[in-house]
């Protein structure tokens, strides 16, 4: 299924803009800005949206033409929705991923993809994924716990750094 949803060819970058609640979410417009910039480098953005983020689909499609939404394809095809194992399998097809501190970030880590995790109100030392292919970006390093404090440029740099550190 993962190869069908993300076929060989493009270099995919994963984006998981959701989380357990708004205080743990970097602003959606920042994810859109970052995803748009990846297309300038010939990469294909892949958004992993859970049921709580379905309302973001149209805004992302408008902001990032060409982005893929494989979980939404699976939800449409299967009324029970996708298994977390599908997300893990698809993560193996990504070049890198960016996630809020969320279940998706942990699934990316299990899949072995280099990942940038964004932290605000939670403690990275307690909740970080178990992987050595990780760069953490903390809102506290930019003056507070609010996710909006994390600049897009810092996350772009972290994405470049995690790809360079764990790239082929």
Predicted confidence (pLDDT) per residue in 35-73, tens digit: 999 998 899 999 999 888 889 999 999 999 999 999 887
pLDDT of residue 127: 66
Place of tokens 């993300």: 6
Q: What average pLDDT does the segment 87-112 reach?
A: 94
13: β partners: 45, 96
Q: What local confidence, expressed as pLDDT, does residue 81 receive?
A: 67
What CA–CA distance (Å, rounded) separates 130 from 134?
9
The whole model's pTM is what?
0.93
What's the CA gap between 113 and 28, in Å, rounded?
22
Cβ–Cβ under 8 Å, residues 135 and 116: yes
**Which two structure tokens, joined as six digits, stand for 102?**
């969320």
pLDDT value, residue 65: 95
Q: What rounded mean pLDDT belongs to the chain? A: 90
d(CA 35, CA 67) in angstroms, rounded, equals 8
Scan for tokens 């076929």, then name that residue. 7
Q: What is the pLDDT of residue 129?
A: 74
At 22-42, the pLDDT tens digits run 889 999 999 999 999 999 889
Helices 84-91 and 70-77, packing angle to 10 deg: 150
CB atoms within 10 A of CB 42: 8
Confidence of residue 152 (pLDDT cuts 50, 70, 90): very high
Would you list the DSSP string of 41-108? TTEEEEE---GGGGGGHHHHHHHSTT-B-HHHHHHHH-TT---HHHHHHHHTTEEEEEEESSHHHHHH
Instruction: Please say if the pLDDT value at position 117 is more than 70.
Output: yes
């Amino acid at each position: 299924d993962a190869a069908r949803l993300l076929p060989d060819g493009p270099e995919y970058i994963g984006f998981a803009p959701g989380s357990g609640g708004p205080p743990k979410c970097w602003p959606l417009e920042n994810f859109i800005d970052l995803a748009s910039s990846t297309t300038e480098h010939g990469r294909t953005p892949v958004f992993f949206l859970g049921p709580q983020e379905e309302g973001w689909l149209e805004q992302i499609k408008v902001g990032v033409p060409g982005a893929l939404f494989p979980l939404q394809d699976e939800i449409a095809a299967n009324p029970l929705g996708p298994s977390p194992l599908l997300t893990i399998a698809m993560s193996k097809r990504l070049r890198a991923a960016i996630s809020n501190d969320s279940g998706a970030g942990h699934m990316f880590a299990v899949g072995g993809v280099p990942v940038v995790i964004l932290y605000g109100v939670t403690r990275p030392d307690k909740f970080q994924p178990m992987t050595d292919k990780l760069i953490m970006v903390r809102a506290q390093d930019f003056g507070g716990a609010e996710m909006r404090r994390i600049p897009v440029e810092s996350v772009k740099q972290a994405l470049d750094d995690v790809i360079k550190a764990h790239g082929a």
